[in-house]
Chains A and B, each alone.
Chain A
Amino acid sequence: MAIIRRRKQPEDETQQHLDSKPDEDDDKEAKALTKSGKKNKIKNYSCVDNCCWFIGCVCSVWWLLLFLYNAMPASFPQFVTEAISGLFPDPPGVKCLKEGLKVKHPVMFVPGIVTGGLELWEGHECMDGLFRKRLWGGTFGEVYKRPSCWVQHMSLDNKTGMDPPGIRVRPVNGLVAADYFAPGYFVWAVLIANLARVGYEEKNMYMAAYDWRLSFQNTEVRDQTLSRIKSNIELMVATNGGKKAVIIPHSMGVIYFLHFMKWVEAPAPMGGGGGPDWCAKHIKAVMNIGGPFLGVPKAVAGLFSAEAKDVASVRALAPGVLDSDLFQIQTLQHVMRMSRTWDSTMSMIPKGGNTIWGDLGWSPEEGYSPIKKRNGKNDTENESASKECEASYANYGRIISFGRDVAEAPSSEIERIEFRGAVKGNNVANNTCRAVWTEYHDMGFGGIKAVAEYKVYTADDIVEMLEFVAPKMMERGSAHFTYGIADNLDDPKYAHYKYWSNPLETKLPNAPDMEIYSMYGVGIPTERAYVYKLTPAAECYIPFQIDTSAKDKNEYGCLKDGVYTVDGDETVPALSAGFMCAKGWRGKTRFNPSGIKTYVREYEHNPPSNILEGRGTQSGAHVDIMGNFQLIEDVIRVAAGATGEELGGDQVYTDIFEWSEKINLRL
């Protein structure tokens, strides 16, 4: 009623006003006066009314657009895109279908870290109503609503690396687990859609979802994930007429699957009891996408200071936002506390030590010159994609150095003070920081100082340094992962599962017909080494952070915001992704006794040419490569029965073979 009355009244007055207007001007003044008297009353309404009116307009327009959008024929967006950017090439699935390729081998996907969804099965009271809702992946709505509760549920137990009591967070099962990470951000969806075009469906596609926070063996202990994978491969092989499976792991899934291949053939209590020829019988090819076989330097920065390039540059842009104590945010500390309970992050610490990653004065990528490369390869690559280093001094072997001068100094000039025996000193923050406890608070100033005074850490040192700064975490992790190189692979100690995910400490299974592909993007600067500094305030903070002020003057220099970059796919350096297939496993080596064929397939990064292409069909970025048409085509061909030779063998853009030659590893 009130609404109607309120609206009616003004309308009448409008009428009056209009009628009177043409007649006398003198009356106007009197009227205007009365009006201004009433004006105050209107003010009260008018503001609200105006707002309502405005919102109403916006809503109506929005609905109209929404309606038009829904009523629009489905082919319209594509029509527009084609009109603007020319004809799209056929998606690889359609192309292959036209060539007559059809579903043949069953396919299994192994997602990487972070991309798999996790859902809640049991939680504390603050998570009421979220049963079987996604905590990780999807919209991440809960992070905003109840951040500390969320962090609590995502963390694992600090001692055991398993569920904390009363909390069960489990991986989502099925293809939905990792097809889209967040709405609109595909991971496997494009590949799945293209495989479906040539006839794949649920029965011959399987997503081996696992809890990526756990160490690999623990996924079996807690969820029997490895058994599940074994059973599903066996089932798919049996129901598809004995055709062997094609495995497509991505990112950390690559080493997870390495672990699986050892596990499945190992005898029962520790392994799957599949017998020595299980892999030969069930696996046709392993097509590793962006595989961090030898670890990623990013993991070091992540564990050491919960930073990565992205975080560091945020910090450089707006110092203080992340560190501000004002709102009790302490984001990074929370992130560090949470991620340090995840054993899996330790699986990605660089493996192989100085032999692979270089020492103080040497590294396999040294002398790598993007300019030379560009000349050699003409100009297929885009400007923005080629900010690699010039052949200046980039001592990539020094994965962490304190201060830029140290990073560039010749190795003879560096004075290092041993940190290993250092006294850690008193706990500086015994009470104040309990909420965001990280192991740094057990260290005291002495320990922190000792770490900084060692100046330079190579891959070998890093493991020891992490053991120093985070003893508990590394103790947990060292029961599940190792980072060395085996001297004698026949040593019975290598039967333990902690060696299974390190390609330098295991033999490949005895399966001469199997093929191993290493497919990764190149042409994007990738983190390789860091320049660190001490944080000014050491109380409740993480005492180290990347020194973002360290950068090359040259815009194309390799040191940017305290990070040295090399060629890679933005996350995994080409060396880590390619070395095993380029050298370590090539031919019959001691790591590959049965001579499994290996192929290196690199994909040059080409950023999307316009916004309409989304994340691009020629991307080489670590995750976006899953939408790379060329890669998808390769996968479909292999799944439809092609061998590596038929694909064209190696496809190399970087100097991966040269770099591999430089690595002096007994084979």
Chain B
Amino acid sequence: MASVLRYRKLCITEPMLRSYESSETPKDEKQAIETLKVDKKQEKSQTIEKLKNKKKTWGCVNSCCWFIGCMCTTWWLLLFLYHCCPVSLVGFKGPEPPGVRLKNEGLSALHPVVLVPGMVTVGLELWEGRPCSRGLFRKRLWGGSFTGILNRPLCWLEHLSLDNETGLDPPGIRVRPVPGLVAADYFAPGYFVWAVLIENLATIGYEGKNMYMATYDWRLSFQNTEIRDQSLSRLKANIELMYVTNGNKKVVVVPHSMGVTYFLHFLKWVEAPPPMGGGGGPGWCAKHIKSIMNIGPAFLGIPKAVSAMFSAEAREVAFIRAMDPGFLDSEILGLKTMEHMMRVTRTWDSLISLLPKGGDPIWGDLDSAPEDGHECHFETKSYFQSNSRENNNSRNKDSTGPRIQLKHRTKYGRIISFGKTASEQHSSKLHKVAPMELMQVISNATCGEIWTEYGKINRKNIQKLADNKAYTAETFIHLLRYVAPKTMQRAEAHFSHGIATDLDDPKYAHYKYWSNPLETKLPDAPEMEIYTLYGVGIPTERSYVYKLSPSDKCNSIPFRIDSSAEGGCLRGGIYFVDGDESVPVISAGFMCAKGWRGKTRFNPSGSATYIREYRHKPPGFLEGRGLESGHHVDIMGNAALIEDVLRVAAGASGEDIGGDRIYSDILKMSDRVNIEL
């Protein structure tokens, strides 16, 4: 029967056959077949042979077409229905967003708000590029749908890299941050960063005139954003403008992640005298800024940056590598993903700003760290929780649940150790190589094209580095200086990672100290409030167990995380502590808990500080990324955090919203940190 159908199609598509039947269009199939029968008798066998073949192939294509057609139609139908159904039907009715609730309470826009996005979340667009980037003028290279990577990966990498020598644009390439709220409201379609906060602010009356997104090129060092794009001047001008146009109301600044240290830099820059600074004079911050609400701040750096700099890895990468060894390292397709990643990221000065600051006093030495002790148990527990959802319920009841006793106390201070044993041994048993000895090793390049600076170091020296077994926050900087001399030389002109002994030393007027809270004083603004808002309850990378990578080929990264190392807080070669998945509690909370609390040498005017922690609660199935998330980025959608920001923006002080709110052991940890205040 369907043969009839197919005859008809043949007639339409096959011109040779059509000539036979042009007289009668086969409305009546029976008749058509008969004509066919009669007409074709002479060349029966031949034609039928042909028909047979044709039919076979057409059958397959037809079925395919038919199938695709069905799919398309169904899809359209569903799409149509989806668009037709009223908005309220789509999805479930979520809880009332905090903005609406606060509006009903009578809150309205008062202080202008400045949003300072963090690393990675700001979009970058192309202004000038090489021929391979044709047609992408003012299109996003970073952020958005990232189609660029898929279409032309090498071209994309080339445009995102900076110049290795200067840390600025390579010649002929201009990639610039997207300005305005669109820069960081959504990182990729559907993946919000600031959008939820913006929407809630808008509900109580904020709009373009009293909300400003201070975008900057997050690849550059902070001072270079001013030199190249005048981003700091722009931020200053906009704060002044909003201050004036909103009836002399001070601004509330909401920086996130790396934006926190960027804004610290701004605070110093704006009051410094002109050639290096913004020339705002000593009272500028006191006059213009009401409070700074740091979200997920990386005040003292993050250990994640260590592994990123050292081997371009993070937990996720190490995990993939453990699951499917060889996938990332395969040279078959000439991929060398990790090496490309490292080459590009090492040109980004800003990454250096995230290396742990404060050295051993903050991050611990070979044998002790602020997080020592019971920290691990809590940490281990929550690690299990977030990884096995079915254990969720146990969370509430088992505050005294089963504890894992460890033979050895975890030595978090050893940020990098080679081998699991090295990470657990007592310091006296460790084999040590003096840093000076490391420096003396002379490199001789053996590879033709050098991608990463590892290419310049030969295998023997790498072995020597690994022999040192354990590195603390301080010695790790030495290590980096050795393995990546150019990168560090470039970046250390912009960032410093120490602790000041004498803050009045005139050298601290240099901009490279401005983003390090341990080497600067806060501005003289006694009424300014500093909040630190961060999530807790998610295991966060703190230190790493490394091994030498087996491959000895050119341009490969010689170190990698030893993902086989397990036990206690050690998972996949990484020791975890409490935090928001990116920033450990000590880095986010220490300054507000101790470093700046009261009048200290870092905070001479005694600006008030508040700690607001948000305990992580994994989202339910339909909740998307959750209203109670404590995750580094997802916290921007945390209803409690949004409420706090809105209240402060509408005029509340830190006391009004309830002062400190602490779940973690940040105060105990801070006590253990012994620095002069």
Contact = CB atoms under 8 A, between A and B. Distances in A.
Interface in B163-182: 174, 176-177, 179-182
Interface stretch (A166-174, A376-384, A549-557): A166-174
Contacts of B135: 74
A57 B69 contact: yes
A11 B209 contact: no
A192 B138 CA distance: 10
A3 to B, nearest CB: 7
A55 B230 CA distance: 54
B2 A14 contact: yes
A311 to B, nearest CB: 30
Contacts of B45: 22
A224 interface: yes
A21 B87 CA distance: 59
A661 interface: no
A231 B237 CA distance: 7
Interface string B29-44: 1100110010000001
Contact of A14 (B55, B134, B176): B55
B1 A38 contact: yes
B128 interface: yes
A434 interface: no
B248 interface: no
Nearest to A236: B230
Given A49-B66, A59-B69, A14 B59 contact: yes
Contacts of A235: 230, 233-234, 237
Residues of A contacting B: mostly: helix
Interface stretch (A196-204, A365-373, A642-650): A196-204
A228 B241 contact: yes
B63 interface: yes
Among the interface residues B4, B135, B174, B240, which one has the most CB atoms of the partner chain A within 10 A? B4
Contacts of A3: 67, 70
A234 interface: yes
Interface string A32-72: 10011011011000100111111111011000000000100
Contacts of A325: none
Interface in A1-25: 3, 7, 9-11, 13-14, 17-18, 21-22, 25
Contacts of A42: 1-2, 4-5
A55 B73 CA distance: 8
A129 interface: yes
Contacts of A238: 233
- Chain B interface main SS type: helix
B72 A59 contact: yes
Interface size class of chain B, counting residues whose CB lies under 8 Å from the partner chain? 35 or more
B179 A202 contact: yes
Interface string B627-668: 000000000000000000000000000000000000000000
Given A36-B30, A193-B137, A52 B176 contact: no
Contacts of B137: 193, 196
Interface residues of A, number: 66
Contact of B207 (A53, A121, A129, A175): A121
A224 B245 contact: yes
A23 B230 CA distance: 89
B448 interface: no
Interface string A156-197: 000000000000101101111001000000000000110011
A225 to B, nearest CB: 8
Contacts of A224: 209, 241, 245
Given A39-B1, A56-B70, A59-B72, A201 B127 contact: yes
B212 to A, nearest CB: 10
B22 interface: no
A75 interface: yes
Nearest to A77: B135
Contacts of A32: 30, 33-34
A13 B62 contact: no
Contact of A121 (B6, B63, B202, B245): B202
Contact of A132 (B3, B6, B73, B198): B198
Interface in B191-215: 198-199, 202-203, 207-209
A589 interface: no
B433 interface: no
A234 B52 contact: no
A239 interface: yes
Contacts of B44: 22
A588 interface: no
Interface string B67-104: 11110110000000000000110000000000000000
Contact of B2 (A9, A57, A121): A9
A599 B163 CA distance: 44
Nearest to B242: A224
B65 interface: yes
A55 B5 contact: no
A36 B3 contact: no
B4 A35 contact: yes
Contact of B199 (A11, A18, A75, A131): A131
A174 B180 contact: yes
B4 A60 contact: no
Nearest to A25: B37
A59 B5 contact: no
B576 to A, nearest CB: 38
Given A22-B44, A60-B65, A74-B134, A52 B2 contact: no
A658 interface: no
Contacts of A439: none
Given A53-B65, A74-B134, A168-B207, A239 B230 contact: yes
Nearest to A222: B209
A310 interface: no
Nearest to B210: A224
Given A10-B3, A35-B29, A53 B66 contact: yes
B241 A227 contact: yes
A176 B240 CA distance: 24
Interface string B295-306: 000000000000
A124 to B, nearest CB: 13
Nearest to B228: A203
B646 to A, nearest CB: 15
Contacts of B65: 52-54, 56-57, 60
A234 B234 CA distance: 11
A49 B69 CA distance: 9
A59 B68 contact: yes
B552 interface: no
B37 A234 contact: no
B68 to A, nearest CB: 4
Contacts of B151: 70
Contacts of B181: 132, 173
B48 interface: yes
A56 B230 contact: no
A122 interface: yes
B5 A49 contact: yes
Interface in B224-255: 229-230, 233-234, 237-238, 240-241, 244-245
A39 B69 contact: no
B51 interface: yes
20 contacts: A13-B1, A13-B2, A14-B59, A38-B1, A49-B66, A52-B73, A55-B72, A75-B134, A132-B181, A174-B179, A175-B138, A176-B180, A176-B182, A192-B138, A193-B137, A193-B138, A201-B127, A227-B245, A234-B237, A235-B234
Given A53-B62, A223-B209, 4 more contacts: A10-B1, A14-B2, A56-B72, A60-B65
Q: Which 7 A-B pairs have the closest CB atoms?
A: A10-B2, A56-B69, A52-B69, A56-B65, A56-B68, A55-B69, A224-B245
